[in-house]
Structure 1
């Protein structure tokens, strides 16, 4: 199934502007930062199919989990790993057990065309700053640190590391030129708004633990349970997976 991403993103604007009071209350979807671009396409296609509006709240998986534990009224949590959804399930904050909806991929990204892009270039004197997401709260940051340690680069480049709260802030470091290189999600560099900016290489997945990205339906005081279940099923459907595949996620090996 071929997905026209720019058309879906344009469609999302039309849908959100055109939704009136006859539609169900919008779903609040807490979304890990690496998924934000794919989520625009997913929610646009979902709204076209169902008429259900959505509100997307973006942040690091760890920060969103903390908000949910403190009572944030989200309907669904789309995480960058399985650890945080499992924590919410353990604390009786979910209506469903965590399920893997996609596997993420790590890339090294730069906007500087003069940089020879490989893992050896990270330790070059030409590189003053290397951006990664906070490995404590952001799974892609954890994967970046694991990769650096796998290739025995971590201690060499540790003084160069600038840490963003989430992948979103890490991306801004690269886009602004504050960091010459950055580890980010493959879904970011394939997003329509960024796919022509700079260059990137995919990191060998053997250098970091698989990024199993998890999803749960959350408990809340005034739940949109029916609508939430529809979106949950949609993400796991062939239509949802086709969009995730287009953003570089791996879904074909999932049950």
Structure 2
């Protein structure tokens, strides 16, 4: 029996090591990146053995939750401002741009957006959906576009706001709004309806930064996810969903 003790000890050590290596990372992710992140998370889990617990929402609300002590370890925002603020406050490290967002004007009606931005100035619709510009960078970009096209005053009474870009998309998809400003990523794999890729000189670049939060400082899974987001495999998925990458 004694001859089995070294083997048993080795098995127990291997099991313990596996438990240390296989960890879970809690991630806060901007709503526009939902579809891409779900695919990336699956690939990440297969590649590393780690698991993910993901919460999606508007960047502003997730930022507030982080400040209120939410146990997130990695934050994928829809802007640079909030991640950089967290770094300045000593609450995060490893900031980098993981995706460059693109704004589109979209309608579920294939005949609604056939002449680009002129669809806005025609005004022959009841509701235009945008994300809350105070908490969602894509909503702020939509406001910039309307001001640049000098249609913001005319469209003001027609606006309906989603809490985040995911809800904004749903307003348009269900035809509760005739059209709306959404993330290109949300329609990148579905060409139904009609859309206009808003020229990027009409709004500030939507550089989306990720950071490793202080609660993830000692987490191997958090470190692994940060590394994975910079990999060619992750970048291929990000580009597939209509984002730009550095």
Normalising by the smaller structure, the TM-score range is: 0.7 to 0.9
Instruction: Give me the CA root mean square deviation.
Output: 1.7
Distance 2:40 2:146 in 1: 32
Structure 2 equivalent of residue 107 of structure 1: 104
CA contact 1:189–1:200 (8 Å) conserved in 2: no
> Which SS does the other structure have where 1:163 is aligned?
strand
- Closer, same or farther in 2 for the Cα pair 1:180/1:81, shift >3 Å? same
Distance 1:238 1:80 in 2: 21
> Which SS does the other structure have where 1:47 is aligned?
helix
* Larger proportion of helix: 2
Distance 2:159 2:38 in 1: 30
Structure 2 equivalent of residue 61 of structure 1: 59
Task: Name stretches of at least 5 consecutive residues in structure 2 with no aligned partner.
Answer: 1-17
Choose which of 16, 29, 37 in structure 1 pairs with 2:35. 37
Task: Name stretches of at least 5 consecutive residues in structure 1 with no aligned partner.
Answer: 1-20
TM-score of the aligned structures, taking structure 2 as reference length: 0.88
Structure 2 equivalent of residue 11 of structure 1: none
CA contact 1:110–1:174 (8 Å) conserved in 2: yes
TM-score of the aligned structures, taking structure 1 as reference length: 0.85
CA contact 1:150–1:207 (8 Å) conserved in 2: yes
Structure 2 equivalent of residue 231 of structure 1: 225
> Which SS does the other structure have where 1:98 is aligned?
strand
**1:181: Cα distance to partner?**
0.4
Structure 2 equivalent of residue 212 of structure 1: 207
**1:119: Cα distance to partner?**
1.4
Structure 1 equivalent of residue 120 of structure 2: 122
Distance 1:249 1:116 in 2: 21
Structure 2 equivalent of residue 84 of structure 1: 82
CA contact 1:122–1:181 (8 Å) conserved in 2: no
